[in-house]
Structure 1
Amino acid sequence: MHALNHLLYGNIDFLKNEEYRAFQFRFLCILLLAGAGVTVLLLAGVASGVNHIDAIHVVSMTCFTLISLVIWLVLRGQPQRFVAMAWIYECLCLLEFVSALYFVSEDEMRVIWFFTNIPGIYILLGQRAGMLITIGTIVGLAVGNAFLPQPYSTNAIATLLSALMYLGAFFHVYGARSVSYFIRMRESNRQLRHIASHDPLTDLLNAGAYYATCDQLIHLASRHQQPFAVLFVDLDHFKKINDTFGHEAGDIVLKTVAKQLQESVRQSDAVGRIGGEEFSVFLPDTDLSGAAKLAENMRSGIEALMPQIGQQRIKVTASIGVASGERSETNIAAIQRRADQAMYDAKQQGRNRVSCFTQAA
């Protein structure tokens, strides 16, 4: 199945919140190949004498098939080209349908291609494009019918135009509701994923999500042969804050510190709350020296916070352990233990300081 997907769509990678965009891209790829395939079958029927089609339209069908395959090749593996390729294909289809309408006059059902076009344009390019193409088709058939070699009767053209208006209105409403439902579902799923992966008090990654993220980042670091480091941050005398000022004050301190930690790191770093007053920071592409420097900035930043509790401000400090990763590591467990050990060394040395793990420690 993976090989078939790669053959049809190329090497593509959509984000989790791009499900509908991925569906549109794959739908267009299949539509291009299906349209070319159906046209080839019709051409085979002409060649075998099963059905008769005007020579001019045979040329049009051949060009349609070849151009469809070229569009597919240009689009394959390049989702950023989707909108342009969808519009080009739509224009190509309209030209092909008009050619069939004029040159295959003995086929009364040839107008059906305009009907099959309406749902596709709503799916691929949305409501505005769908409405534009629907109105253009209705006007084009109403005006152009008189110029056909064998025009449709007044009753027939009235029925065709009414059916097109109904189909356009149906897909306009249905498309609007479907997209709206999809957006709401996507947002709900995003919120659920956020709730499941983040600590409700500090909005940092919770322990499970943090460790899972770290394992992924370690895998990437190993693949690209890049260094990485972990900081273990533990607030000093946090129980005393709770006992003296109450748990609400403790929550204020935790949220204030969490915000400080988040603002101190890069977007590529991961920050998690892994215990009551314990935090951990994963630093990709960072050696021990760089991690220690960042840890010192964090320590001084936490010390300078002085969060206000009631009518007074209290001093908060943290002991931070630093450990660098090893190439042989495949998960967070070992380096986290080393950072934890370094943090305890900082505690033993008087707290409110940074300690780096060494083998001698």
Structure 2
Amino acid sequence: MNNFLYSGFEFKEDEDLLGFKFKMINSILVIVALFSTLVGILSDLGISDIGPIHSKVNYVYGIFSVMLIFLLRSSKTYYKKVANALLIASLITFTSALILVPQDEFRIIWFYLLIFVAYILNGSASGLLFTIASLGVILSVHLLSDLQLSQLAINTSVLGLIIGSFLSRFYTNKISDYENSLQQKNAALHVLASTDDLTGIMNRRLFGEVSKRYFETAQRDNLPLSLLLFDLDHFKKVNDTYGHQTGDLLLIRFAEAIKSYLRKSDIVARVGGEEFAVLLFETDMEGAFILAEKIRTLVESITIDHEGEKVFVTTSIGIAQHREGDKAFNAIYARADKALYLAKGRGRNRTCCDPLAGDGTQMPVHRFNVTLSESQE
């Protein structure tokens, strides 16, 4: 049943309101199709006479509603068009009842329903528009023909429509404000949930989602994709010796150093305490190695002053490239992690590539002495 009310579409978390509107409009269309047809049948059977013309109008109204149900299943973008078509068809049908069914003393009540639905489906502007249209129809028909309603009944109906429209508008605006506020809060929560709060770059959770999409694109289009894994050398010793505040400043400066060399298509994330990852789209192993060396060299120049001492660290880097036989991004990550482990095992402050590269080659390995701080030389 839900599949029918959603018109066969799936709605994301940020489309909750649109999904609700689809359920609402489909429910209304079903009700209109069933009851307008039923009213026409009852009239033809002489049980509830509404006249032959208005009876046919109800049949058309019902058939048109069924057509709108199928049209809505074509695309999510058709919602607005379908909602407007339903409201216009309803206005015409209710106008027909106002003119052709004088024996129904309560027929003006349908316009109240029309205005309320307009506010619910399309918002304040639409509700106000159909309020004006309904008032115009009632007053015009009253002046041009005999509705067989007293002036008091007309006045009360008009006043009731205006008050109902005002309340519906107030309610709709308040709901809209809540919706906007909720969307802003959800957006803020999404940023918090996907961003490392210290460095401001992507966190591991979002990196996993984005890297999966990059991997799928690389597989589909046979494009090179390289991964760099960074680990700050002896970072625990920095924290133990100089405190976490100094360590945090180094992490922030390190993230800034990485970002300074990246393109818009590249992504960087903090995937652990002192571990970072960079994913390079349309970049082969050689290009990744050149970039890694630039970053590694730049990191050597980063210093933090701590009580007269200059504190700095180096970084070890592991690189791996996407292969044709990879089934998931985790395969690249595992190879880059092995290359990083190799770099650390060979003395740190160096860049090592996947030792099992598909072409059997290995980029050069650079060796440097690692210095924690000038005071510990």
* TM-score calculated relative to the size of structure 2: 0.78
Per the alignment, do residues 274 and 152 of structure 1 end up closer, same or farther by CA in structure 2, a change over 3 Å counting?
same
In the other structure, the counterpart of 1:275 is 272
Name the amino acid aligned to 1:162: L
Contact between 1:232 and 1:281, CA under 8 Å: does it hold in 2?
A: yes
Quote the RMSD (CA, aligned, Å).
3.6
Contact between 2:288 and 2:319, CA under 8 Å: does it hold in 1?
A: no
Secondary structure at the aligned position of 1:109 is classed as coil
In the other structure, the counterpart of 2:291 is 297
**Superposed, which structure 2 residues align to 1:141-152 within 5 Å?**
141-152=138-149
In the other structure, the counterpart of 1:107 is 104
Cα distance in structure 1, aligned partners of 2:42 and 2:122: 32
The Cα offsets for residues 50-76 of structure 1, whole Å up to 9 and x where unpaired, read as 111222222222222222222221221
Contact between 1:234 and 1:279, CA under 8 Å: does it hold in 2?
A: yes
In the other structure, the counterpart of 1:213 is 209
Deviation at residue 315 of structure 1 after TM alignment: 7.3
Deviation at residue 102 of structure 1 after TM alignment: 0.6
Contact between 1:39 and 1:61, CA under 8 Å: does it hold in 2?
A: yes
Per the alignment, do residues 65 and 292 of structure 1 end up closer, same or farther by CA in structure 2, a change over 3 Å counting?
farther
In the other structure, the counterpart of 1:125 is 122
1:346 aligns with 2:343: yes
Contact between 1:299 and 1:319, CA under 8 Å: does it hold in 2?
A: no
1:176 aligns with 2:173: yes
Contact between 2:44 and 2:52, CA under 8 Å: does it hold in 1?
A: no
Greater CA drift, 170-179 or 251-260: 251-260
Which of 64, 71, 88 aligns to 1:74? It is 71
Q: Which has the larger radius of gyration?
A: 2
Contact between 2:51 and 2:101, CA under 8 Å: does it hold in 1?
A: yes
Cα distance in structure 1, aligned partners of 2:218 and 2:303: 43
Deviation at residue 343 of structure 1 after TM alignment: 0.8
Contact between 2:95 and 2:137, CA under 8 Å: does it hold in 1?
A: no
Cα distance in structure 1, aligned partners of 2:175 and 2:263: 40
Per the alignment, do residues 11 and 319 of structure 1 end up closer, same or farther by CA in structure 2, a change over 3 Å counting?
farther
Cα distance in structure 1, aligned partners of 2:138 and 2:303: 74
In the other structure, the counterpart of 2:372 is none
Contact between 1:202 and 1:258, CA under 8 Å: does it hold in 2?
A: yes
Cα distance in structure 2, aligned partners of 1:95 and 1:37: 18
In the other structure, the counterpart of 2:353 is 356
Per the alignment, do residues 210 and 87 of structure 1 end up closer, same or farther by CA in structure 2, a change over 3 Å counting?
closer
Which of 55, 58, 61 aligns to 1:58? It is 55
Per the alignment, do residues 313 and 148 of structure 1 end up closer, same or farther by CA in structure 2, a change over 3 Å counting?
farther
Secondary structure at the aligned position of 1:280 is classed as strand
Secondary structure at the aligned position of 1:323 is classed as strand
Contact between 2:319 and 2:352, CA under 8 Å: does it hold in 1?
A: yes
The Cα offsets for residues 61-100 of structure 1, whole Å up to 9 and x where unpaired, read as 2222222222221221411122222222211111111111
Percent identity over the alignment?
29
In the other structure, the counterpart of 2:151 is 154
Query: Please, which runs of 5 or more residues in structure 2 have no aligned partner?
Result: 363-377
Greater CA drift, 214-223 or 299-308: 214-223
Deviation at residue 261 of structure 1 after TM alignment: 4.6
Contact between 1:210 and 1:271, CA under 8 Å: does it hold in 2?
A: no
**Alignment length, in residue pairs?**
352
Deviation at residue 198 of structure 1 after TM alignment: 3.2
Greater CA drift, 88-97 or 254-263: 254-263
Secondary structure at the aligned position of 1:233 is classed as strand
Cα distance in structure 2, aligned partners of 1:134 and 1:302: 68
Per the alignment, do residues 169 and 318 of structure 1 end up closer, same or farther by CA in structure 2, a change over 3 Å counting?
same
Cα distance in structure 2, aligned partners of 1:22 and 1:335: 38
Name the amino acid aligned to 1:150: L
Secondary structure at the aligned position of 1:201 is classed as coil
Contact between 1:25 and 1:82, CA under 8 Å: does it hold in 2?
A: yes
Which of 12, 36, 42 aligns to 1:45? It is 42
Higher relative contact order by CA 8 Å / sep ≥ 6: 1 or 2?
1
